[in-house]
Amino acid sequence: MHFLQDQNYYLILETSCFYTHFTTPFILKFCNRKYLILNQIILMKKILITGSHGFLARNTAFLLKKKSYKVYGIGNGKWNKKQYQKWGYDYLVNKEVNLKNLLKNFYKFDYIIHCAGSGTVGLPFQKDFKKNVTTTKSILKFVKLKSPKSKIIFLSSYSVYGNKYHRSIKENFKTRPISDYGINKKFAEGLCLQYSKKFNIDLLIARVASLYGEGLEKQLIFDACFKISNRNYKFLGTGKEIRDFIHISDMTNFISFFIKRGFKGTNIINCGSGVGQKINKVLKLIMGEFNLKIKPIFDKKRVDKNPKILISNIDMLKKLGFLPRKKFKNGIKEYVKWFKKNYL
């Protein structure tokens, strides 16, 4: 068998077939008693994922391929065909996400999942700006020029809300970021909103909580595991800071949910667990998985540009029919198990 491609349409045909009359449903009978049943012409959604080698991007590709989407990727890296197909990509460009590379290698997509960007607070402003803002502008220009019917899912961050709120944060709360990362995410959101309204681009901005899960080799939980495994129990901050964590399985299911459900116009939605976790307790939980009863030591100094409390209000998400399922304790247990297997 082979595939005939007409933009987004892929029709399975038998090469020896001499008669093709497309009705729905229909059965074609061949002289060698093979039967081909097609209920309808299959529409396979074409999806582009930016930042393709990153933690969220590659896990998203893996899930979407399981759901029979046609998955493309672009991002800095050196994966060969075997490596990128392992993660679910049908085709991948190992190049920087910029307008030139997008126009040269791609055409039209049903959805663009924009994961490219720094995922860590603390990068120099200009480097963070390029990762989070410049790449976003390139994607928006590409959509305008080559793929105007694409729906965009932009992975932003709940860091755009800043340090003002001491309760769960709703989507309509004002954004007052205090970190360079949060400022640049807000700037990128602004570009998306402008393009969406001016050029009628369907847009979903997902303000993602603190992402974690097996395979993530940076950020708080990984750093904590690394320190603890090396008998270092000293940590920055007061330990009283509160964060909302979302597991990678819930995050990829969130993306899959909105691709299947679809959306129109301009949309902003929080994506977290809706539950705040005090950092002191998170570290104790991790230490417990290392069979340690030692209390973490904090320098008691509030980390600059680090909000005290960030908790996502996910009432809107629930109303739309999506509910994160991974329990935090179970997620930590699985993460530490993965860490031990790969680092100890």
| Helix (H) / strand (E) containing 270 | strand 266-271
Mean pLDDT, range 216-232, rounded to an integer: 95
Q: Over the chain, what is the mean pLDDT?
A: 87
State the maximum Cα–Cα separation within the chain, in Å, rounded to a whole number. Answer: 80
**171, pLDDT greater than 60:** yes
pLDDT tier, 210 (very low <50, low <70, confident <90, very high otherwise) = very high
Burial class for 154, CB neighbours closer than 10 Å (0-12, 13-18, 19+): buried
Count CB-CB contacts under 10 A for residue 24.
8
Return phi, psi of residue 263, to 5°: -160, 160
In sequence order, the β-bridge partners of residue 10 are 5
Q: What pLDDT score was predicted for residue 40?
A: 34
Pairing of strands 234-235, 242-247: unpaired
Mean pLDDT, range 135-160, rounded to an integer: 97
Q: What pLDDT score was predicted for residue 306?
A: 79
Q: What pLDDT score was predicted for residue 318?
A: 97
Q: What pLDDT score was predicted for residue 39?
A: 35
Query: Taking phi first (over 0 means left), then psi (-120 to 50 degrees means alpha), and beta for anything else, what does residue 29 get?
Result: beta
State pLDDT tens for residues 326-337. Answer: 999 999 999 999
Number of helices followed by number of strands (H, E) in the chain: 11, 17
Residue closest to 306 by CA, chosen among 178, 175, 118, 170: 178
Count of positions (residues) in the chain: 344
- Select the more confidently predicted residue: 17 or 249: 249
Burial class for 80, CB neighbours closer than 10 Å (0-12, 13-18, 19+): exposed
pLDDT above 90: percentage of residues in the chain? 76
- Select the more confidently predicted residue: 163 or 142: 142
CA distance 278 to 242: 4
- Select the more confidently predicted residue: 271 or 181: 271
State pLDDT tens for residues 2-44. Answer: 323 333 333 333 333 333 333 333 333 433 444 333 333 346 8
**149, pLDDT greater than 80:** yes
pLDDT above 70: percentage of residues in the chain? 83
Query: Domain residue spans in the chain?
Result: 2-38, 46-214+249-276+308-328
Q: What pLDDT score was predicted for residue 43?
A: 67
Q: What pLDDT score was predicted for residue 226?
A: 97
46-214+249-276+308-328 under CATH 2.40.110.10, yes or no: no
Mean pLDDT, range 155-182, rounded to an integer: 93
State pLDDT tens for residues 54-110. Answer: 999 999 999 999 999 999 999 999 999 999 999 999 999 999 999 999 999 999 999
- Give the Cα-Cα-Cα angle 49, 121, 153 (nearest 5 degrees): 25
**166, pLDDT greater than 80:** yes
Burial class for 164, CB neighbours closer than 10 Å (0-12, 13-18, 19+): middle
**234, pLDDT greater than 50:** yes
- Select the more confidently predicted residue: 16 or 117: 117
Do residues 93 and 77 lie in contact, with contact meaning Cβ atoms separated by under 8 Å?
Answer: no
